[in-house]
Amino acid sequence: MKPQPLALKVLNIASGLLFLGALAMVFLYAPLEITMNYVQKIFYFHVANAWVGMLGFLAAAVAGVVYLIKHDQKWDIIELTAVEISLVFFLIAIAAGSIWARPTWGAYWTWEPRLTTAAILEMVYIAYILLRQGIDDPDRRARFSAVYTLVGAISVPITFMSIRLFRTIHPVVIGSNSSATMGSFDMTSKMLFTMFFTLFAFSVIFVDLFWHRIRLGLLAQQVEEYKLEEL
């Protein structure tokens, strides 16, 4: 594998510093919420991971469209990379949300619309990974994956809008928030700034991981091509 370019090395450092900055903002700068106290601080990581996860799933759909147009295996690698990394971030978001829900709702999990659609979204892309493994031909696998990500991307806006479309106990933190919703809270300016900083930090971390995974994917593609030549 080629040495890391300077820009990637800088991004590595920036990602680490931003993550530390996000931790400092959450635990030292953002004020305590009156009713939930320290448990509310999980919110910042919950939202940031969910944001990155959904963004990555949409990016995978875009890469799928480009592949179907250009038939370049590079875009299949980008698509797979986006799905793999987003799966991890979104799983962390679900886990963090469950930890937050226990003291707030009295249960780790309730089958309300947002949690249900989030679980379905995660399973849709887990199935994507599993189904890819059963297709040996690279071109056929790439075509199938591209179409799958386009269809699977429909579940992203459904999950995002579920708390606005259906009756739910999940709070709408930004816009149309109801004080009657369990776990809802009004955000101060410091809380909002901390949330947006955390979103930015995790977005940069996503880009850093994305770049590393693409490099690995290109290397894996070369190895696969060598194997096919041998056969």
Res 110 pLDDT > 70: yes
Q: How confident is the model at residue 180 (pLDDT cuts 50, 70, 90)?
A: very low
Residue 106: predicted pLDDT = 81
Res 188 pLDDT > 80: yes
Residue 91: predicted pLDDT = 96
176 class by beta-carbon count within 10 Å (0-12 exposed, 13-18 middle, 19+ buried)? exposed
Q: What is the maximum span of the chain, computed from C-alpha positions, in angstroms?
A: 66
Residue 221: predicted pLDDT = 78
Are residues 30 and 44 in contact, defined by beta-carbon separation less than 8 angstroms?
yes
Q: How confident is the model at residue 175 (pLDDT cuts 50, 70, 90)?
A: low
* Higher-pLDDT residue of 152, 110: 152
Residue 184: predicted pLDDT = 55
Average pLDDT, rounded, for the chain = 88
How many H-runs (helices) and E-runs (strands) does the chain carry?
A: 7, 0
* Higher-pLDDT residue of 5, 33: 5
* Higher-pLDDT residue of 37, 32: 32
Beta bridge partners of 33: 37
Phi first, then psi: give them for residue 77, nearest 5 degrees: -65, -45
Res 207 pLDDT > 50: yes
Res 32 pLDDT > 90: no
Are residues 125 and 86 in contact, defined by beta-carbon separation less than 8 angstroms?
yes
**Whole-model pTM?**
0.87
Q: How confident is the model at residue 105 (pLDDT cuts 50, 70, 90)?
A: confident
* CA 63 from centroid of its chain's CA atoms: 16
Res 23 pLDDT > 50: yes
